Structure 1
């Protein structure tokens, strides 16, 4: 099995499902913001889509659910969908279990949270107390004082933390999952020999390396990082000689195609990226790459949407289109796939040294073509055997999947 990443059309909200080679499932964010009271809301019903995915796999849980941060567009309706261990009110038949929860450190310490963000925090704190089912992205020392205040023993829980610049335990590109996760954020920036300053403590960002045979491909998930945070990640990653950890074939854009993830100025027609971000896109992006904007459709120049301060921004999209075009790749927008008036979940499949993009409509069309080809092969076999077309004894082998179709 090859790896597959599915992106869901949720407007300016995030959710992506990573299916690994060993059939493990890693869900990154849960921004289920579709309005169920509006029949014409084009955003997908994320809960229904994910339930269907799990049902097809014969499962009722995700191996990992990562909340990159606790803004509503990343955790909306968590309390309606997931089984939460910390309270019986969020348990019961039909709820989806989380085998391992990933959160940034601030998800534990932030004060004044409400709604679903508060529920994620309560679940994370419960799992930390129980010493299981959680990974916290931060230097463990950063939370040492807070843990003492909460009467939590630091030494028996520090193994649950994953610092930037490290691999997440439990995954290996040489194991059956054929994938590893390298953490970029939250991170600590060493200003000098003695001073470490925590930066961007409110978002998880990582690179996934996928291995298929002898080929490796890379995906970057940047949460909602702005150009300052991305620049610092580039600087510290290069300082430690880890530039390969910023390679990407598949880029999930930060912050819904905002110009602020590229530079401080929106620009007239195309946002100009600051030097470090320019290097990240133009040097580290690989041939035939795919850039995905989890956002509303890109506005047209001169329209009211083009004047909106909120993303997506046309100028940023023009930057991404140019980068993708120069690399022979593609720029995709979740709310435009396969059509603006009927967006559907879509995604990329690992294919050796490249990633192949497939929308649901294209996948269905491909299945129909395969079926017609298989029927033609079977009819030819029948004629050679003197059985005539449509014999109940005929069989056809799908050239692509290798499946056998019997008794047509």
Structure 2
């Protein structure tokens, strides 16, 4: 009966069990243990030198920069160690998030960010404790080639498992914290880009709309002034036209102000504001707002503009006969749901509008879910963190519960 051939390491990074017959995994582990000594010596010398020089010179101006440089270099050595473990031990460890250098604030804040880098410090610890372990693994493996050959595969596997544990424990990212740092860095970029886009939109609307009308108004009034004595009827006609321009300019300014932050939202909250925006939709909209208190102004504004843009999509693209807007709170989350009985087919990949909404909500730890099969109906659910009017997270509150989430 033929003995089964061992399979490569699976998703758990665990090689097949050791056995008396040597296989490729055993030889790779043996090579890793034999190279531990020279690699450990290099890492130990680097860590001791960087720490002693950086810490010893902290009383001077160059101490902290040298320590920061040493920690940054430790990240590079850690990346090489992860690659070696991946190639020889089959350990698949995610790369830590890049060092979050501050984009503003000057040299010293960025330097301090590098000095307190947890990835660099864990790599230093790894290099310091690896030297005695490297000496032990090198000695046992080398001498075992002539003494422990029948059981060397099992000894090698046991020592390699210790190496795997050290790599996972000290060279893997501290998932929650570092993932959160990466998310916040990305979210900050989204917020900055969104704010810049909003400023450009306001500037464009002012330049192309109200400003152009006011220029025409000034020119019309100037011509009317010149004709006032010689041709009163023509002057009166020009003043009438100027009056019409004033009305249009005022309307455009009101629309622009409403697009920045509507007064009804500030004065009366989401219920009145969403009722107002739904009245401008080309489809009959039923609005239900079930909130015992108002959220923080920032959350309230995001909720309003999210529903407003979704209702614009309903007007432009859905070909629906009716739509509903529901807003409620469940625990520490604010939920918005917009439904329509239109043709469906909406998705985050269908254009920049939906994707932009998803990015804006993601920047404040929100969620954006689209369920819109071809033929309809379409249900869009948005979820935001609840913050009270003081801006702090509130405790749990009774609510309707979270909706079932559809396709993102």
| TM-score past 0.5 threshold | no
Query: Greater strand share, 1 or 2?
Result: 1
Which TM-score applies when normalising by structure 2?
0.20
TM-score (norm 1): 0.20
Greater share of residues in helix: 2
Q: Which has the higher contact order (CA 8 A, sep 6+)?
A: 1
Q: Could you say which structure has the larger radius of gyration?
A: 2
